[in-house]
Amino acid sequence: MNVISILRGMIIKCLPNTISEDKVNIKMLPDCGYTCDVAIVFSSILKKDTLSLCKRIKNSIEKDIFREIVISDDGMLTFYLKKDFLISCIKDIVQKEKDYGKSSYGKNKKICVECIIGQRNEENIWKTIYLDSLSNIMTYAGYDITSYCYVMDNDGIKSDLEDKRVYFDYLMDKEDSNIKDNLDDTLSLLQRSNHCFIKDDGLWLRTGDYIEKRLTNSDGDYLEFLYLMSYYTNIFGSGYDGIISICSKDDDTKDIRSVIEICNYDLRKYSIKIINTGFFNDSNQINNIRYNVLSGSDKIYDIENTNSIIFNLLRGKWSNSLKSDSTKRDEYAYIIMNKLLEFENIIIWCATRGIINSLCIYLEDLVCLFNNYNSTLECYSEEDKLIAKSVYIVINNIASMLGLILREDL
């Protein structure tokens, strides 16, 4: 359940029709309140006193889901959810299970996510792991994703990808029929651009950045760069609403942008996501490698350990020997339930920006919160088990997006 969307819808009903929902800015605070500056932003436009507008919104908002609505002196509204409403949301998580967090935000827009890999090295594997996970996240956010990878040097790299749980809709190399069948059309397209010229050693292409790339040799044989251009013209001619290229900081992207311009493709539909690459940790475990690549942290053991604790708790095979602290328990329960309701917005935020690390941070925060919550319990009520089950679902839904297979018994 998307609380921010629900609250935004309630607030917009209190305002004139000229103000659209996307203009209503709502953020979640660390104390689990939802803050909104709509009265400050629109009071002058609506010719209303800021505090009077706040009171109007407060009095019009449905009270059945909020335990408190606070108006600050400067006109900021802060909303706090009722526990009963949070419990109903937690039950919704359990009911949706693997579908929790999915949304229609992307409106089924057709997006291509692609990368090019050359030599068999860690940097290229890093890019494919990132692309694979980003594709999963964007699918959760309601986009229709097609993933491509063009392999320039296929020396065992396909088996490496399978070992790292990396999968593409289209894994291509120069022998792929889609690329080979498109070579003649691609060459004609480039020649019509008037950017091609002939030297003694073959046909060349001069891009907008005055970079020269050889397309054929003196015998007319097609060369590697033409195959690469065939790959790109195949993608750009497929009618996608957007194309995202995953690149490392060392990748040369100028020639690709130039060719897009030469061929009169819509550059506004094309974006490049530059990711930081580094070295894998020393572990041979795929979970460790993938999580280290995506998050830059080594907290996968903490995540798996918490997942195992909850799994055994739900099976009735684990009990807590710590003393109960009801005050702390209620505090952590309230924070966790609010945290769980952030999930859909976190996915959308990551999907629209191509940033995976924020989802990893959310996961680590949720794990830490549950461990703190669990430490306050002596025995488990049905409500505690409901919260634990919801946390378990969200942990594993994130793991699915990140390509992790979490162990349940450590």
pLDDT in tens, 79-125: 999 989 999 999 999 999 999 999 999 999 999 999 998 877 778 88
Q: What does the alpha-carbon distance between residue 264 and residue 250 come to, in Å, rounded to a whole number? A: 26
State whether 139 and 270 are in the same domain: yes
Do 302 and 270 share a structural domain?
Answer: no
Residue 100 within a domain: no
8 Å CB contact between 83 and 64: no
Residue 64 lies in a domain: yes
Q: Are residues 53 and 121 in the same domain?
A: no
Residues 172, 39 within the same domain: no
Tens digit of pLDDT for each residue in 260-278?
A: 888 888 888 999 898 876 5
- Provide the pLDDT for residue 46: 81
Indicate whether 132 and 238 sit together in one domain. yes
Domain assignment of residue 56, given as a range:
3-81
Domain assignment present for 140: yes
Closest among 359, 362, 374 to 310, alpha carbons compared: 374
Look at residue 98 and tell me if it is in a domain.
no
Token readout for 253 is: 């992207």
- Picking from 13, 12, 29, the residue whose alpha carbon sits closest to that of residue 21 is 12
The last residue of a domain, from among 35, 64, 81: 81
Q: Between vectors from CA 159 to CA 154 and to CA 164, what angle results, nearest 5°?
A: 120
Whether residue 101 is contained in a domain is answered as: no
- Which residues lie across from 145 on neighbouring strands? 111
Nearest-10 Cα torsion for 42, 46, 48, 51? -20
CB 115 within 8 A of CB 131: yes
What residues does 110 pair with on adjacent strands?
144
Q: Which CATH number characterizes residue 69's domain?
A: 3.30.1360.70
Where do runs of H (alpha helix) occur along 97-192? Answer: 122-140, 157-163, 177-180, 183-192
Whether 313 is covered by a domain: the verdict is yes
Residues 301 and 267 in one domain: no
Are both 51 and 164 inside the same structural domain?
Answer: no
Does some domain include residue 170?
yes
Mark whether 57 and 7 lie in a shared domain: yes
- What is the tally of structural domains in the chain? 3
Residue 236 is inside which H or E element, if any? Answer: helix 224-236
pLDDT category of residue 197 using cuts at 50, 70 and 90: very high
- Check whether residue 350 and residue 228 sit in a common domain: no
Q: Which residue in this structure is represented by tokens 């790292």?
A: 164
- Is residue 56 a part of any domain in this protein? yes
Q: How many angstroms separate the CA atoms of 363 and 304, rounded?
A: 11
